[in-house]
A and B are shown apart, each in its own frame.
Chain A
């Protein structure tokens, strides 16, 4: 009985060690393989696509507005939800009556 529980603890420890090492190695490889700080070459494709296609596809001259409301509409909807949640939180705190 004690042998089984020991082996389960051992397995848990090995699984935890493997997961931690996988996270560590993958983050290390991500840092090593990412483009150097301030270089333009690594992230060329998405900004180039927005600069050359945003006016054509959405019709908005303001590319920031086109990205915020057209390409990433759900993200901005989440931002509005954050604002609404803060409003509800302030209501909840300030509506408490001090008797």
Chain B
């Protein structure tokens, strides 16, 4: 693409990823959560794909790593949800109500679900942009 689009994408994409990570990590305090944060990070990858092409975008985030991430996050998510069914009271970590490290399972579930949404959406973007 153009030099203008490439320069603007290079400047904006880290902040988009930072904002997505903020939405995921603060999902139990402020509005948002795993789905919207993962979609924001995937939007950053859309910018990279449009500006630099799929091959150059895959140097930053390769598709094989995304498959691995999706599998690991899905397994962790299933274990956390089953764990929540039996040991919900024991795993509660309450260090004040409005800290980042609070709410026990909800934070971990947000992170695992966010990784799963992120990897699924980015894989779909790569699959469609390669055709």
Binding site of A, secondary structure by majority: helix, strand, loop or mixed?
A: helix
In the assembled complex, which residues on chain A have CB atoms less than 8 Å from the CB atom of B127? 90-91, 94
Assess the A58–B104 pair: CB atoms within 8 A: yes
A contact residues, range: 20 to 34
Interface residues of B in 109-124 (CB under 8 A from A): 109-110, 113, 116-117, 120, 123-124
CB distance from A41 to the nearest CB of B (A): 28
A16 contacts the other chain (CB 8 A): no
Q: Which of B88, B110, B117 contacts A83 (CB 8 A)?
A: B117
Considering the chains assembled together, what is the distance between the CA atoms of A60 and B36 in angstroms? 18
Considering the chains assembled together, what is the distance between the CA atoms of A62 and B36 in angstroms? 14
Q: Which of A60, A74, A90 contacts B106 (CB 8 A)?
A: A60
Considering the chains assembled together, what is the distance between the CA atoms of A70 and B77 in angstroms? 13
Q: Given the known A-B contacts A76-B113, A84-B120, are A62 and B94 also in contact in the complex, defined by CB atoms under 8 Å? A: no
